[in-house]
Amino acid sequence: MKSPKVMVPFAEGFEELEALTIVDVLRRAGITVDMVGIVGTMVTGGHGIRVTMDKKLLQVHAEDYNCIILPGGNPGYINLGRSSTLLELLKKMNGQGKLIGAICAAPSVLAKAGVLEGKRATIYPGMEKEIPYPRGEKVVVDGNIITSQGPGTAMEFALKIVETLMGKEMTYSMKRSLVA
């Protein structure tokens, strides 16, 4: 089986714990992950950690990926939502039925792109008004959409993405090796 390919867009002010947990866990599962800078190839998180990207957003195409996962963070999620290129990419990937994930405040970006219409989702507590059908669970899956609440749910969220892309057996193996 060919490894799924996942894009994780990074914007200035991203939440490091979420973004790096997602990238790390998916790569450990053998999934190809491209860290994609919304603007440049060096992006600084909300807590001052600078990360070098694999690509810039203008270099990627929806057809090359099975999945896109948005980390949150403030102002990271705001900066993601300001990218019309990213919003169009989300619409296109959703139209193709590809897996789309968002954590923390980033589900609001999915709502802005229109991909949460008719979908249940979760978001950072206190931001429920930003999405159409909010739920209180840590991780919510509705069709091709996976959402999660925040930094403390990043591991559970990343493992749900692994399960969706690679199956329960791989997830069980990952949980054992990560002691999760």
How far apart, in Å, do the first and last CA atoms of the chain sit? 25
Element (H, E) at 178: helix 168-178
**Quick check: 144 and 98 in contact, CB under 8 A?**
yes
Distance CA 118, CA 170 (A): 30
Q: Which domains does the chain have, with CATH numbers?
A: 5-175 (3.40.50.880)
pLDDT, tens digit (0-9, with 9 covering 90-100), for 92-119? 999 999 999 999 999 999 999 999 999 9
Distance CA 23, CA 54 (A): 12
- 104 catalytic residue (yes or no): yes
Residue 85 has pLDDT above 90, yes or no: yes
Catalytic site residue from 53, 89, 100, 104: 104
